Amino acid sequence: MATHTYTGSCHCGIVRYECDLDLTAGTRRCNCRFCLKTRMWKVFALGEGSFRLLQGAAALSDYQAHDSSWPDGHVHHYFCRHCGVRGFSKGYLDMTPFDGWFHAVNVATLDGLDDARLAAIPVQYEDGRHDDWDHPPVNPGYL
């Protein structure tokens, strides 16, 4: 496991965070309605202390998808109300590897990753549209 501390931010820079991530363990792209419409490319910061909001709490808006298969109140999607960028979500899952609270960090909001590093990050595709999270959709190229 190669965990490193990364910083991240929204487009306007009002919201800033740092998190402990292992990008070599893989990231995920999903075709559920929410991830598809927001173009979410997520990596998980597991455990309560693995994500730290550094500034901009007052600038965050919280969206909860009430028609999702998650229990109400268990996933909060945060975005900057000034520039609209969604940097992370916070959720709770009582299953491995999550075992409690986690943050799904938008890889595109991590600071300092050049094109070569971004291209080298492993991606797992999820067929969230059909609640088949362990398998890719038939045609993952659009993700």
Give the pLDDT confidence of 23-71 residue by residue, as tens digits. Answer: 999 999 999 888 899 999 999 999 889 999 999 999 999 998 776 655 5
Q: Scan for tokens 């991240």, then name that residue.
A: 8
User: Please, which pLDDT band fits residue 5 given cuts at 50, 70 and 90?
Assistant: very high
pLDDT at site 69: 59
Secondary element (H or E) of residue 117: helix 115-120
* Average confidence (pLDDT) over 123-143: 91
Nearest CA among 21, 12, 100, 27 for reference residue 60: 12
pLDDT at site 7: 99
Q: Token pair of 21, please?
A: 């991530």
Give the pLDDT confidence of 67-114 residue by residue, as tens digits. Answer: 665 555 578 999 999 999 999 999 988 877 888 889 999 999 999 999
* Average confidence (pLDDT) over 19-23: 97
CATH number belonging to the domain at 4-138, selected among 2.170.150.70, 2.60.40.3470, 3.40.50.720, 2.60.40.3880:
2.170.150.70
Residue 108 DSSP SS3: helix
pTM greater than 0.85 (yes/no)? yes
